[in-house]
Amino acid sequence: MTKTTKKTRFAAIVLTLAMMLGMFSIMGVTTASAVTDKVSLYSSSVTFTKYGAATYEVFIQTRDNASNQQVYVHYLYMDSLGWSDAKAEYVTTLNDGSKIWKAYFSSFNTRYAIKLVADGREYWDNNNGKDYGAGTRIGSAAIAPQRNGSGFWYSNTYLVSAVLQNYAYHKNVFVRYTNDNWRTYQDQALNYKSTKDDGTEVWETVLALPSGNSFGDSFQYALCYQVNGNEYWANNFGANYDYTFYTHH
């Protein structure tokens, strides 16, 4: 075979591959993208743990105008098994136009990433290639409640715990709560407790609550974080939190 013939056959193969790739694009084959500003972890927390498996509630933030968005938590249930997808449900649209989604998944491994599928493309937040792991954490949220305490059933107290971004040294963090369905309310400061490995901080306080079986029906609260002249609220996207936050799963 001559060199010219070899070159001709090689060119034909390249052309064929190019045509096939073009056909795949026309057919809408999903392509991946490393653009992570379109989707990010908003916050996550453990809702339930049993027999070594943790059930996670994961909030996701997307910034994309596509009308056909689908959002997933891509997680590893167990080291010996493959990865799975838990589809997220739409929650609300924030003032800046970004959307919030919520997904649940259970895992013995607790390793996961976030995936957005929009207009035939995939966008990922995989924590800069490290994936996300166990523990309450925040991503793009400024502040979020943390599930690491219990309710008031035996001691008439309620532990309020928050994890927040360390935007500045000087800050004010408080809980606003009501015992009468917001006819009146009180504010109580949270105190610094610790700093996580990722640099976010944990703040806590304990509320002294009235006794009585009907109390739970009227108790609600929200968290506020004031820093650098800005105010950030965690209020369950307008629904507020109640005593079931620690027991919901």
Q: Flag whether the pTM goes above 0.95.
A: no
CA-based torsion, 180, 185, 191, 193: positive or negative: positive
Structure tokens at 200: 């976010």
Tell me the per-residue pLDDT of 118-175, one tens digit each, with 9 for 90 and over.
988 999 999 988 899 877 789 999 999 988 655 555 667 888 999 999 999 999 999 9
Looking at residue 19, its pLDDT comes to: 41
Look at residue 242 and tell me whether its pLDDT is greater than 70. yes
Sequence-ordered list of residues with C-beta below 8 angstroms from that of 150, at least 6 positions apart, any chain: 159, 246
Domain boundary (77, 105, 138) is at 138
Domain boundary (138, 159, 192) is at 138
| 195 and 179 inside one domain | yes
What is the Cα–Cα distance from 186 to 159, expressed in whole angstroms? 15
| 105 and 147 inside one domain | no
Looking at residue 215, its pLDDT comes to: 62
Mean pLDDT across 53-59: 87
| 113 and 160 inside one domain | no
Domain boundary (138, 157, 173) is at 138
Q: pLDDT > 90: what percent of the chain? A: 50
The total number of structural domains that make up the chain: 2
| 94 and 134 inside one domain | yes
Residue 188 lies in a domain: yes
Tell me the per-residue pLDDT of 169-206, one tens digit each, with 9 for 90 and over.
999 999 999 988 999 999 999 999 999 988 999 999 99
Look at residue 32 and tell me whether its pLDDT is greater than 50. no
Look at residue 22 and tell me whether its pLDDT is greater than 70. no
Residue ranges making up the domain that contains 72: 32-138
| 195 and 132 inside one domain | no
What is the Cα–Cα distance from 175 to 220, expressed in whole angstroms? 10
| 195 and 217 inside one domain | yes
Domain holding 117: CATH number?
2.60.40.2440
- Determine the residue type at 95: N
